[in-house]
Structure 1
Amino acid sequence: MYLRLFSYIKPYKTFFTLSFITMIIFALINGFSLGMISPFVIAIFNRDGNALSILGESNIRILNNIDRWMFESSPLVALKRLSLVIILIFFLKGFFQYFHNYFNCRVEQGVIKDIRNHFYRHIHTLSLGFFTKSSTGNLSSIVTNDIEIVRESVSKGFIEIVRESTLAIIYIIIVIWASWQLSVLSILIVPLSIFLIARVGKRLRKRGTRIQEKMGEMMSTFTETVSGIRIVKAFAMEGFELRKFFRNTVNYLKTVIRFETLRLSIAPLTEFLGAIAASVILLYGGHLILVSQTLSPDRFFVFLAASLSLMQPIKRIGEANSKIQRGLGAAKRIFEILDTEEKVKEYPDSITLPDFTKHIRFRNISFSYDSEIPVLNDINLEVKAGQIVAIAGPSGAGKSTIINLIPRFYDPTSGAIEIDGVDIRKFSLKSLREAIGLVTQETILFNDTIFNNVAYGRSKISRKQVIKVSKAANAHYFIEKLPNGYNTIIGERGASLSGGERQRIAIARALLKDPPILVLDEATSALDAESQLQVQEAIHKLMEGRTTIVIAHRLSTIKDADLIYVVEKGTIVDYGKHGELLQKDGIYRKLYKHVLKEAESVTVSDRY
């Protein structure tokens, strides 16, 4: 999985290479700064002029020249020159550390941008079935929180492990150079620390995944409550929603504490092991200096500084590993979405939908959402070009499913839908959906201006065109009364507008698209008489000159339809014109009487 994450670094390989090079140079300078302890000790305590460089006696001319420049003078002058070298070393150390962090930042931010864009692009390719089963809050949590944790995993996990491992190798080299006998003792701690880090890492990954799952549940509750705040307040369920959210935050807290309890144990354990090793080294090193006299004091100081410094990279590697494990847990959730297959696929040899001229046909269509419970059974229907065809039936009969199959929001389990005799699966999704105008019961508007909601993604649309379709949709007049007219921000999902106003803007958007095929799910929401009349007039203008398939709820639509298909329990049980169907003592007649009673009750209530 980490190799898969690493593949996102490829577009930024230049910055990554520069980050790696500056990191190596920084690590080398960091190690060299420790090595300066030896000449520093010699410069202060050695009085006979037999000073050595950090690498000891060397045949390399430049090192010998540095030796002579630093030490072939009085101890005070040597100390001054040594101080200048130390200042230069730490300047270079800070310089390369800065550019390492800068290049690292370019890599990590670029990687996260690409993962986020890949994720967002992929969910646009998934069918509606995916979204009906997925929580909006969970998806929001993945695209924000999980991806941010992956960023930490890349920047403070992988890159930190490489950096600290490089430092550890340099310190080990210095340790071995200073005293191979003492290095044997100090290196004994490394395998034990690695074993501890690996053992704990597996458990951290599992707990890290649970943290992201609990975060998703918490975000899901939050987004659902905010989006449905009217219902929450209308039912006075603030307390219920608070208790539900607080349960989620408590569960998240418990999961984080379990993760942190394990993670925080790594640093003190590795440090404790290092302290044990350091104590043994001090005892043995003192013996080598004082008793056997096989180790010089300056080498011992270098060894001691390097071995103590070695503890920090080992400790940080453990901490970085915990970040990696949590990042892998988050990456697992991201890749589960990215690996979700597109159930509605576009065929490689797809063609552009030509002008629609003849008919739309459903041939033996059956459909199931979960491959078990059938929703549609052997549907056969035909819509001729220019016709208004209504689909009627009781709630849950499968009417919405039928119209969702036309723009290929789902593909049928069996059978085929044809436009002018060609299976719609042979058309590109873009050309198919561009030919279909969809107006649903649930009016979807965006937190943007009215102009941008009507134009929706069409940057070259003029204001004149938007005003024209808005007038046709009976929307222009109320828009003009708003404080900023067409530039008014309408809030999330058009919250600042009434139901009728939202519907008219949606109709204006469909009119601007000017599709040859219109799929209409008539709104059943209760509107006042004036708004209902204006919306109905707008719908009739929208239907003019188009082939219309409509889920009919209104008497006017039912009467004006050229053909009505009656659906019950996923099957077409009857079809014909309004008058013909009324003559039969079937389900349509019962439905019509029910609609008639509702219309009469609305009329009576309007009088009062």
Structure 2
Amino acid sequence: MGHPQKLQEIMPSFWQILQRFWPYIQKQQALAIGSLLALLAEVGLRLLEPWPLKFVFDRVVDPTGEASGIPLIDNLAPTTLLWLSALGLVLVTGLRSLAAYGSTVGFALTGTRVLTEVRNDLYRHLQSLSLSFHTKAKGGELTIRVISDIGLLKDVVVTAFLPLLGNVLILVGMVALMFWLHLELMLLALLTVPLFYIATARLSSQIRDVSRKQRQREGAMAATAAESIGAIKIVKTLSLEETFAQTFSGQSHKSLKDGVKAKRLEASLERTVDLLIAIATAIVLGRGAQLVLNNALTPGDLLVFLSYLKNAFKPVKDFAKYTGRLAKGTAAGERIIDLLDQKPEVQDLPGAKPAPQFQGYVQFENITFAYEPGHPTLKDIDFSVAPGQQVALVGHSGSGKSTLTSLILRLYDPDRGCILIDGYDIREYTAVSLRAQISVVLQESLLFAGSIWENIAYGSPNATPEQIITAAKIANAHDFIQNLPQGYDTVVGERGVTLSGGQRQRIAIARAAVRQAPILILDEPTTGLDQENEQVVVEALERLAWGKTTFIIAHDLYLAARADLILYIENGCILERGTHQELMQANGRYAELYNLQAAQRDLNNRQEATHVTR
């Protein structure tokens, strides 16, 4: 008793979770109110359950006993009262069971609906977070939060918190009735409350800490598993299976130790509570029996009091039983709220409007950007691109080329300066409408698990079958797709592992082509391809880029040399700009790098020719 306060201490954030989710609960207001009424009915009927037994002990077992003070009962014959009491016991218990069923199912349905909606919103929120968040976060841990943490919180609400809520109401009612039945016995029962407080305070805090640590370890395990499985080819190539297995095993072993420790603490708390309940019952039974022998209390009153005492301690027992679950649920809720509290660094500004159809005139005006304060990745970038022009971004790795194109997509916002499309700051438009008019082909041609048809259609979900086939033809993909066992309905593995690199890249090009966007970004689209596939992909890219404002990030300067404008970027600054001929005449960094690549290419060709001759 006195444990509602302790409940708040054990679940310091549970109320914050309820408050945070209150708007979701309000949507299920009718169901929640109906479940609450059923719960109150169950509490009232549970309070009535012992009274038929009181009448049997006081008026049937001992017919000469003290009258109940209720004329309707006192005037009944003992046999009649016995059968009525038995019938009343069955009726009250049956109605209580029906009310308990209604409240349990109703609250379970409420919790399931609420937390399902929370999960959906959490996933949407996760998708809306900026790229800077996702580059630092671990994918496996985020998956645990969306799937496992919500599931655990739902389980805790349905199987632990709501039953405890009912028991607390029962506790309040029974304590009030025990005070009314006999003040002295009630005060004796309260003697054990300080012991309850001391026992639960120490053990419950330890259970909460261990449970929170266990959830963190489970998140680390998920991150390790997701990382190794996602890069399984590299893991096998480098023979890292045992390394990752040992890391996972170590985390799993620590999680196991935490789980066992939590179970031991829960068991210790439950057994301690059992012992204290037995002590309180023994004290009340001893003193109550003396009062009965002295005719200061009827046997029925003692029976009702002991019944109430047993049920009044039930919330304490349940609290001990569910402390581990509640602690895990609290830890899960804290992690969910932590994720919901993350704010996207890139958001639509107030008053942002859908972008009109772009012509493709792009301007960078004095752009400076840094991932970390004080360490700029781009510095004072200033250039413009006419509609339909092709711009090549060249330079060593890490110079800021990919960052520059990420700013066009508003994956990040610049720290200073602005990017204009057709004369308007791109921040004036909604991010969705901006990105809808930009096609991207990345170095890693990522495909999703699904059919080839679906993977191409991701570029434009409303594309017609004719548009998808036309896009595949532009990408030089139609012929090889037709030769696959199920053609366009062929299902590719996750990340497209069932296709070759060249095939994956051509499907990625088709996905960009079906978008029919006026602006195109090509980020190292031919890297890692053999000569034959590279030629096919370059032909597809040329068709794709026709008439579009195109940004090409390329280490292969033979691909960059075809561009209308070449920007040589180093340490975040544009060191050289111009056409291929202009830069070669300037004999600067670009010319030096181009000549180096040309010499290497000639050497490779001679070696290949020598090999063929032999």
Q: Note whether the superposition's TM-score is higher than 0.5.
A: yes
Q: 1:600 to 1:194 in 2, by over 3 A?
A: farther
Distance in 1, matches of 2:476 and 2:458, equals 18
Distance in 2, matches of 1:13 and 1:201, equals 32
Hey, what does 1:90 align to over in structure 2?
Answer: 93
Distance in 1, matches of 2:596 and 2:50, equals 90
Matched, 1:137 2:140: yes
Equivalent of 2:449 in 440, 447, 450: 447
Matched, 1:242 2:245: yes
Distance in 1, matches of 2:335 and 2:261, equals 20
Question: What is the DSSP-based 3-state SS (H/G/I as helix, E as strand, rest coil) of the residue aligned with 2:492?
Answer: coil
Counterpart amino acid of residue 273 in structure 2: T
- Name the TM-score, length of structure 2 as normaliser: 0.91
Hey, what does 1:57 align to over in structure 2?
Answer: 69
Hey, what does 1:401 align to over in structure 2?
Answer: 403
Hey, what does 1:380 align to over in structure 2?
Answer: 382
Q: 1:40 to 1:501 in 2, by over 3 A?
A: farther
Matched, 1:45 2:54: no
How far apart are 1:419 and its partner, in Å?
1.3
Hey, what does 1:539 align to over in structure 2?
Answer: 541
Question: What is the DSSP-based 3-state SS (H/G/I as helix, E as strand, rest coil) of the residue aligned with 1:416?
Answer: strand
The farther-off stretch of 542-551 and 311-320 is 311-320
Equivalent of 2:158 in 146, 149, 155: 155
Hey, what does 1:61 align to over in structure 2?
Answer: none
Equivalent of 1:2 in 11, 14, 20: 14
Cα contact 1:160–1:320 (8 A) shared by 2:
no
Hey, what does 2:32 align to over in structure 1?
Answer: 16
Q: 1:211 to 1:358 in 2, by over 3 A?
A: closer
Q: 1:11 to 1:601 in 2, by over 3 A?
A: farther
Matched, 1:284 2:287: yes
Q: 1:191 to 1:590 in 2, by over 3 A?
A: same
Alignment of 1:208-219 (within 5 A): 208-219=211-222
User: Structure 2 regions of 5+ residues with no counterpart?
Assistant: 1-12
Counterpart amino acid of residue 113 in structure 1: T
Hey, what does 1:116 align to over in structure 2?
Answer: 119
Distance in 1, matches of 2:326 and 2:503, equals 50
The farther-off stretch of 578-587 and 392-401 is 578-587
Matched, 1:257 2:257: no
Distance in 2, matches of 1:600 and 1:116, equals 57
Hey, what does 1:369 align to over in structure 2?
Answer: 371
Matched, 1:31 2:33: no
Hey, what does 2:589 align to over in structure 1?
Answer: 587
Distance in 1, matches of 2:555 and 2:534, equals 13
Hey, what does 2:297 align to over in structure 1?
Answer: 295
Cα contact 2:459–2:511 (8 A) shared by 1:
no
Matched, 1:270 2:286: no
Hey, what does 1:596 align to over in structure 2?
Answer: 598
CA RMSD of aligned residues (A): 2.3
Distance in 2, matches of 1:522 and 1:421, equals 28
Distance in 1, matches of 2:122 and 2:272, equals 39
Distance in 2, matches of 1:376 and 1:335, equals 34
How far apart are 1:87 and its partner, in Å?
2.1
Hey, what does 2:571 align to over in structure 1?
Answer: 569
How far apart are 1:513 and its partner, in Å?
0.6
Hey, what does 1:424 align to over in structure 2?
Answer: 426
Give the fraction of aligned pairs with identical amino acids, expressed as a percent: 32
The farther-off stretch of 314-323 and 528-537 is 314-323
Counterpart amino acid of residue 484 in structure 2: L
Distance in 1, matches of 2:461 and 2:428, equals 29
Distance in 2, matches of 1:487 and 1:51, equals 86
Equivalent of 1:523 in 525, 533, 544: 525
Question: What is the DSSP-based 3-state SS (H/G/I as helix, E as strand, rest coil) of the residue aligned with 2:77?
Answer: coil
Q: Deviations over 1:217-241 (max 9, x none)?
A: 0000011111111111112221111
Counterpart amino acid of residue 14 in structure 1: A
Hey, what does 2:480 align to over in structure 1?
Answer: 478
Question: What is the DSSP-based 3-state SS (H/G/I as helix, E as strand, rest coil) of the residue aligned with 1:513?
Answer: coil
Q: 1:415 to 1:160 in 2, by over 3 A?
A: same
Hey, what does 1:103 align to over in structure 2?
Answer: 106
Hey, what does 1:323 align to over in structure 2?
Answer: 325
Distance in 1, matches of 2:251 and 2:323, equals 28
Aligned residues: 594
Cα contact 1:208–1:325 (8 A) shared by 2:
yes
Distance in 1, matches of 2:58 and 2:295, equals 17
Cα contact 1:23–1:97 (8 A) shared by 2:
yes
Distance in 2, matches of 1:597 and 1:273, equals 87
Counterpart amino acid of residue 77 in structure 2: S
Q: 1:303 to 1:358 in 2, by over 3 A?
A: closer
- Name the TM-score, length of structure 1 as normaliser: 0.92
How far apart are 1:565 and its partner, in Å?
0.3
Hey, what does 1:334 align to over in structure 2?
Answer: 336
Cα contact 1:161–1:321 (8 A) shared by 2:
no
Cα contact 1:175–1:306 (8 A) shared by 2:
yes
Hey, what does 2:349 align to over in structure 1?
Answer: 347
Matched, 1:183 2:190: no
Hey, what does 1:72 align to over in structure 2?
Answer: 76
How far apart are 1:383 and its partner, in Å?
1.1
